[in-house]
A and B are shown apart, each in its own frame.
Chain A
Amino acid sequence: MGETLLLGWRQYRLERRMFWRNPSAAFFNFVLPLLFLAAGGALLSGSQHDLNRLIPAIAGMSVMSTTFTALAYNIVFLRERGVLKRIRGTPLPTLSYFGGVAANAVTNTALQITLVILAGRLVFGIGWPQDWLSLVVFVIAGVICLAALGVAFAHVIPNFESMAAYVNAVFLPVVFISFYVFDSSSAPGFLRSIADGLPLKPLIVGLSGAMVTGSGLARNLDELTVIAIWGAFGLYLAVRGFSWERSSG
């Protein structure tokens, strides 16, 4: 067990180093959500009410981009390049490998959420989060759920060339629907049903409760349940369909 942990830690260190050396990964993970935040913040700067809704929405999107998007990209890239296959041929325990990869994604999420909270506090006049426990629980649930779905979704992506199209075909609609329904009380019923059934909007509601309104865990159990169901589904698919190799067909 100790050896598995040690090897996982070494894998994590390697993943961190590789992450920082790849400027485009660093950009998409950190700069892009902050640009959204800056642009949205500038547009909505007259209304504290709107800013209060923008910050948790961006926080939710950050969780999704650092886990779902980043892992889907990463897994497909490593699979298509043959890195996963090579690693599978070594004595590195599978648990150590995925532990390191997952911890890398979680680190990015934590950094990103910290940046969003700091920006909210220092730039957009939102206080510190109201309910730290609820914040931690929702971030962890969101990370597990969206990371698992990202790994599962990597199985669907057939090759490197179509990777961006596949990921964005999911990421962008989910973000738009979730933002829209979260922000607008007049959204059509069917869109509301879709957004409520997907994991991102419940995550944003939970984060909003934790960061802005102070409505704690007890008031957002439905949201947590939706995230947990998606998470269980994602974990099942992630493990079950996992492929270490590019398909030769």
Chain B
Amino acid sequence: MSDSTPAIEVSALRKSYGDHEALRGIDITVGRGEVFGLLGPNGAGKTTTVEILEGYRSRSDGEVSVLGHDPAGRSIELRRRIGIVLQAGGIYSHITPREALAHWAGFYRHPRAVEEVLALVGLSDSADMRSRRLSGGQLRRLDFALALIGDPELIFLDEPTTGFDPEARRTAWETIRSLQALGKTILLTTHYLEEAQVLADRVAIVKDGRILAIGAPRELGVGSGAAGNRYNVAYRGPDGEPVEQETDDPTRLLHELTGRALAEGWALEDLSVARPTLEDVYLELTADG
């Protein structure tokens, strides 16, 4: 197996629906074993991107490779190696999780054991309930379980925790972390900043069909996109009023500030230098107007 090639390679991906350009040139590379987050507001193009990678949608232009396959070819070989958690995927009303997993397991060459997957997603106790009696959270766990039963190398999670309460979200994060620990590659879309920050090794911020910034969540403020190499410098001025300044050259700004303060005889009270958080970058990049 060619494990050195990236799990996902996307370049100059475009998608139009009539006059509407949903994707205007997306470039992403996701390495093996990486958890990659697509973060952006609703309608940004996250789901369109993921559904092109999953083989549900055709693309208008650009190059796409998923585990070495073009997903537009819809090869069964590729679908054996990926697991998909759709944003909204249904299941038969009268099937139990155990039956559904046993049936789904038959689609794959080397499925995982049903009991093991039930335990992994926390469905062991409701494994024999009809799906129409399951709660929303339990159905979402079943979504995870069905995506994992084939022991996929690459897992797509399209807004996996939307609508969850905080506790259910944390449980889902545990599951995703355990998949990461197993060496799975995960492509995750979310509009929850915290989720991207907690789970993803790297994040791309998407808006209006473009990637505005890409990088590790902690470093995203640095060296990319409009937020650029920005630092926030805060202090109290000579009159005691709080001042905030942004700079891409903190050394020079601090030098000037300390020089002035010393010369004029005031203290730079409450001085702090901070990099923008993912939230700052996200809010600035995705702000309208």
Contact = CB atoms under 8 A, between A and B. Distances in A.
Contacts of B164: none
B56 A82 contact: no
B108 A91 contact: yes
Given A90-B79, A93-B76, A85 B103 contact: no
B88 interface: yes
Nearest to B149: A90
A86 B76 contact: no
B95 A86 contact: no
A91 B56 contact: no
Nearest to B108: A91
Interface string A3-30: 0000100100010011001100000000
Interface string B86-98: 1011111111000
Contact of B107 (A21, A78, A83, A90): A90
Nearest to B54: A89
A14 B150 CA distance: 19
A91 B80 contact: yes
B186 interface: no
Interface residues of A, number: 22
A91 B82 CA distance: 9
Interface in A225-249: 244-245
Interface in A83-100: 83, 85-86, 88-93
A22 to B, nearest CB: 6
Contacts of B95: 14, 18
A116 to B, nearest CB: 27
Contacts of B130: 21
A81 interface: yes
A73 to B, nearest CB: 13
A85 B86 contact: yes
A80 B88 CA distance: 10
B98 to A, nearest CB: 13
Given A90-B104, A91-B108, A83 B92 contact: yes
Nearest to B78: A91
Given A89-B54, A89-B79, A245-B56, A82 B90 contact: yes
Category for how many chain B residues contact A: 20 to 34
A93 B99 CA distance: 20
B94 A18 contact: yes
Nearest to A19: B94
B238 interface: no
Contacts of A21: 94, 130
A101 B95 CA distance: 16
B84 interface: yes
Given A7-B106, A10-B103, A91-B107, A86 B56 contact: no
Nearest to B83: A89
Contacts of A89: 54-56, 79, 82, 84, 86, 89
B56 A88 contact: yes
B205 interface: no
Contacts of A14: 92, 95, 99, 103
Interface in A43-96: 78, 80-83, 85-86, 88-93
The 10 tightest CB contacts between A and B, nearest first, are A81-B90, A82-B90, A21-B94, A86-B89, A89-B84, A91-B79, A82-B89, A91-B80, A91-B76, A83-B90
Given A93-B76, A244-B56, 15 more contacts: A10-B103, A17-B99, A18-B94, A22-B93, A81-B90, A82-B90, A83-B92, A86-B90, A89-B55, A89-B82, A89-B89, A90-B79, A91-B79, A91-B107, A245-B56
Interface of B: 54-56, 76, 79-80, 82, 84, 86, 88-95, 99, 103-104, 106-108, 130, 146, 150
